Structure 1
Amino acid sequence: MLDLALRAAARRAAEPGGILFTERQLYYELCRGLRPWHLAPRRLRFTARPPVRPAAFEAALRRAGDVPGLLPPAPAARRAPGRHTPEPDLFAYGLPRLLLCESDEIAAMLRANGLPMESACPVFGAAELPLDARVAGMLAHAERARVYVLHDASPAGLAFAARAAAEAGVPPGVAVVPIGLRPRQAGALHLPHRTGEEPGAPPPASCDTWEHRWLARGRGVEVAAVRPAALLRTVHRLVRGVRRAPPRAGRRQARASGFLTWPAA
């Protein structure tokens, strides 16, 4: 039964249009299919234990062999900026936006699905920090440049968002904008949570009472728990600054496609 559910999860993770996904994203898609908590009303905030043990998932994945769309593990290594183009004056241009990801695998997934090109937004993982001085200089050259931070809903994720500017070497005057995942957003989407998270620094003042209590229970939710298609659409929308609310008739569909708008962070 688990083997059949895994194959179905792989098909869903790739929709629409053959999206490439990570092993963790496939795991959470399997959990979503077996326990469709995401269909519960958004007004009820809760997360849930995954219905499948990681060891059982890994065994099923080994039995499955090649899984179409599954990305190989992302190497946690720095990439030379500008290696994709012979343009000699590349670093003389301004760079209006850039995305930092706590997860190197999520950064690789976003790149593999073409987000940097579609959103005109380079993507870097935590292992690639600090930024190359030439990339930081491009941010300084741009007017109203922004660095967006994508992180887990966990003490470690919130801490990463807080220190991202210093760790990346973001130039003074460049805005740093955390875009989630926040505990309240994970609760609204009823995503599977991890337990045993180590407490970190006090949560940001913007965390509400529910979030404080949730974090105090040692819980955390990975960005990988968000459906791959929703993650791509939402990140693209946010880094491009598209914030227009959908018409009331289209809100049900909008809730399914984004994790930072419904409910508003």
Structure 2
Amino acid sequence: MKCIQCGTDNTLKDRTDNNGCCKNCHHRFVFEPTSMTGVRFTDPFFAKAIADISANHTLFFTPKQLFYLLDKRLRSKNKFAVGYLLLFLIVISFFVFGALAIAVIILVFLFNDIHFMNRSYSQRQKSAKYLGIGGIITLVLGSSLSLYFTSYHSFAGSIIIGCLAIYLGTRELEQSHNQSQKFLINDSQFQGWLTSWIGVNKRIDKILPLPQEQSTPITINPDVTAYSFDRLVVCDHDAVAQMLIANNFHFENNCAILSITGYPQNIFDTTMQMLRRNPDLKVYAFHDCSAKGINLLHHLRNSPEWFRDSDIIIIDVGLLPSQILAARRGMFIQASPELAEAAKQLPLEVRSSLSKVELDWLEAGNFVELESFSPQKLIQILNRGIINSQALDAEDSSLILVGDSDNSMYAVQSFG
């Protein structure tokens, strides 16, 4: 394992002889993969994850964004290890039981992979496809070879196993409701890793603390409050608003950034007064793809704290179910019974703006969090939404009208 301080490669013996420290610079290693249970990784692996999520330490990020990235990469490493185990079992089975046993092991592995919730929906669908193909190969090739060698037991086994694999694979491909997945790691593990890393390396560059409510109003120069903003971004989570503000998105785009709960609380009232001075203001709703997130646009339009009785333009940048369904690959889809019930309680105006497929997706409890994307990706999406909104009347606009045309509410058709 290489030392992140000086780059010296240290073997297990080197690390043991130096009490877990680098043999060259004596910097302590945080993680020892040989003593870790479950997932295993090294200090360079963790350091690279921090560098990547922060775009080489140039962007602030939330702890949950780092959590998502670590989970994704550790799942890839775990898949690689399982592949070696499968190869080992195949080799042993070939010498002990023969070719049919190999087919059984591969098909059982694929069937188990289909129901492994740590894998994404697209990965499970791919395994289901391979299971069906494997069943066809077993059925055709296995039965042919069995007849050639006059092995009737193998012939019967090939028919049964092949047909069963084809049935199970096809059935899974036809089922589209179970799109969610689960994390490989948990929050307590993650918090322990952060604590250990900071204990040795003193800090993590660009990681944000949890947003704190700042209820004491601050005094703003009257010369500043006399002006307004061209745009407002409203997020459904304080952490996302905090991340955008920390990365100076508001300065670079002449926009205010608030969360639906009023974060930052100490400037909320003043900011809203400034915003209402601009009759050409455009508002961008930025939210999770969930029943609660989808309701953000409706809340902004109908809440007296926001823009009720106003004709300003509100644009839904996402996440929308249509965007997730169109670009499912790479999306971390989860499921929640509470959000399934919330989807059934959505206002009629919101429900009427969604297709049946989108409603079914939401009512299954599915959701995708904004924080599953990197800061760089979220900033790119917001920038693109702002650029697209500058030509609402253009024929090539990627914005579509949502709900009643008198409400001036739009949604972006694609996310990234």
How would you bin the TM-score normalised by the shorter chain? Answer: 0.7 to 0.9
Distance 1:90 1:128, change over 3 A: same
**1:190 Cα deviation after fit:** 3.0
Give CA-to-partner distance per residue, 1:27-79, whole Å, 9 cap, x none. Answer: 111123234689x79xx996543332233222222222232221111113357
Aligned to 2:212: 75
C-alpha separation in 2, matches of 1:190 and 1:32: 10
> Quick check: 1:140–1:174 contact (8 Å CA) kept in 2?
no
1:222 to 369, 373, 389: 369
Displacement after TM superposition at 1:243 (Å): 7.6
Partner of 2:323: 185
Once structures 1 and 2 are overlaid, which stretch shifts more, 97-106 or 137-146?
137-146
* Alpha-carbon distance, 1:219 to partner: 2.0
Query: Residues 62, 94 of structure 1: CA spacing in aligned structure 2 closer, same or farther, 3 A cutoff?
Result: closer
Higher deviation after alignment, 201-210 or 49-58: 201-210
Q: Which residue type is aligned with residue 334 of structure 2?
A: R
Q: Which has the larger radius of gyration?
A: 2
Q: CA deviation at 1:142?
A: 2.1
Change over 3 Å in CA distance of 1:263–1:100 after alignment to 2: closer
* Number of the residue aligned with 1:250: none
Counterpart secondary structure, 2:334 = coil
In 1, are the aligned partners of 2:57 and 2:206 still within 8 Å (CA)? Answer: no
In the aligned structure 1, how far is the partner of 2:52 from the partner of 2:359? 33
8 Å Cα contact 1:81-1:135 kept in structure 2? no
When the two chains are superposed, the root-mean-square deviation of aligned CA atoms in Å is 3.3
Aligned residue identity for 2:209: P
User: Is the partner of 1:30 in helix, strand or coil?
Assistant: helix
CA 1:81 to 1:184, structure 2 compared with 1: closer, same or farther past 3 Å?
farther
The residue number in structure 2 matching 1:158 is: 294
Cα deviation 1:80-115 (Å, max 9, x = unaligned): 4773xx3x2333334321111111011011000010
1:197 shift after superposition = 4.4
Cα contact 2:238–2:261 (8 A) shared by 1: yes
User: What corresponds to 2:306 in structure 1?
Assistant: 169
CA separation in 1, counterparts of 2:305 and 2:240?
17
Q: Unaligned 5+ residue runs, structure 2?
A: 1-39, 77-118, 127-175, 392-411
1:94-146: per-residue Cα shift (whole Å, max 9, x none)? 43211111110110110000100011111112331798555334333324211
Unmatched 5+ residue regions in structure 1? 245-259
| Residues 206-244 of structure 1, C-alpha deviations (whole Å, 9 max, x = no match) | 333432232222122111011211111211232344789
Q: Are 1:204 and 2:342 an aligned pair?
A: no
Which residue number corresponds to residue 59 of structure 2? 19
Alignment partner of 1:31 out of 71, 92, 97: 71
Greater displacement, 66-75 / 197-206:
197-206
Identity %: 21
SS of 1:128's equivalent in the other structure is: coil
- Provide TM-score, normalisation by structure 1: 0.76
Q: Which protein has greater RCO, CA pairs closer than 8 Å, 6+ apart?
A: 1
Do residues 62 (structure 1) and 198 (structure 2) align? no
Whichever residue aligns with residue 61 of structure 1, its letter is L
Please say if residues 47 and 186 of structure 1, whose CA atoms lie closer than 8 Å, have aligned partners that are also in contact: no
One-letter code aligned to 1:58: Q
Q: Does 1:108 align with 2:245?
A: no
Find out whether 1:96 has 2:230 as its counterpart. yes
So what's the TM-score if we normalise by structure 2?
Answer: 0.51
